[in-house]
Structure 1
């Protein structure tokens, strides 16, 4: 069943009188549904990944923004569990790929198979033809296989033997990776990292969260008990509404200033790309809508700056030798960049909803 409108068909419109079916009207009328639905998804994730509500909120915001998520941490802290929880919370098609050094690009995208009965080639789709694709330990695959995801993540399509196949929507890649210092891993190239909207680190749980985890795993895996709380069609509809969240010129300029500051920072060899600006604003729109607002605040941008920008940066040699991290650089940029305030970031006339 196809939704009334898919991502890419709903976009911001020029100022003027809203028409029937205008995304701003849909957002205003359905804001309560959006908040309630995303709250259910977040709580479903939190029932499995204990003690980290920030991870659940960021994950849902990336999904609404039409992006992809990179989960990086040491083994055994729940990276794959987080990815599985996202997939189970939404009643949609799920694909899982265990990345290994011998994995081929066709193992991801699919392959044409010759049928002797018909004398024709038939396309057999790979696991990327799913709504949520879990890529486990993505940096254990060769760079050639890693790059097979580039077209999928950026354009929502796959080209095999000259034929282009459209991927289902929504389409979310949740990839996990171990730190590159771990044996048998390949660093993700800059182009691949830039395709991921945000990077998060699960981290070790608190003592209380770890004790809760021991209790929840006593009888069975909590993932098996997790029931879907929404559908793929609903998430497509909500993602369309998110695109109508208002971002003032002052907030957009703030995003541009933050990203531009990384390009001239003396601690970096490579700053954030224009794609980073686009994705930071998209996730900020989703974050604002999830809190019941129809407009983006600088607070939304500041909250998301580290997970959206840090993994795209390349430190200078001096910064690496001094033990500086990309996160510290983003925090420095946030501290130095003036924050817009007052009427410049005011919501448009007639906009309602709760304030954060």
Structure 2
């Protein structure tokens, strides 16, 4: 029986990834370590109701090295899957020190503990924000695209990537997989009508969301009076920003594929995780209206600083080197799962 430490896995992506690991591998156990600052105990409780003692919860901060060290000493983890981070771009601009402390310093402390306790496999939740505003000629962006983050969030993740790379160079047996997420959306494909009606399941529970699909679905559910389109003068097919939207279950399975790759090859890698094509803001909004049957208010607003016109993943590397095969590359399905989740949260 292999045991894994999942930091921050009471949150959106971490809880879906834990569900994937425990569903696909009967010999896996997971300890979720989370301070619940942005995570939700309901996510762990749902996992525990299905998988029982194969998943446990420990509340704590990643910066609490004493607690983490004791946990590592007792549990003997095979690998760490690190989700715990602060991730709101605008907040990172206002509170840069918080982001560098939580995202970079705490990640460094966690890596140091891994070295001390002989945990030689590390999967890191990174972001396409490390690319900043790539020239349109470089889109789709590959893993070799120059890194040029334009906010503390992206910079804090880029620095953590560098810590991982340098640690690998210094300690040869320590291997990592860095997953650079693009735009994650949707809710668990395992959410049946009965599960949702009983107020269980997995989805994006975060409050005061800034993600386009969640915001639009909240509008369709009546939780918001309307929404804004931030700029219509970008170099794109309809003047609005274009993004690569990936279903959360496909992102979750990419972590398992990355782990399998590390176990098989023993070689550290960086992987973009997206579908390799994108949709504009207007296309997403129209699809939400179509799926929901609700025509909500949309107003034009000024551009937001730092929004690149087009950000799409070149996913050739993860597709070629691992067994990852996306299953939910369908915008209508992504939105349907997100909309049904939002509607269920409001009774």
TM-score (norm 1): 0.29
TM-score (norm 2): 0.29
Question: Bigger radius of gyration, 1 or 2?
Answer: 1
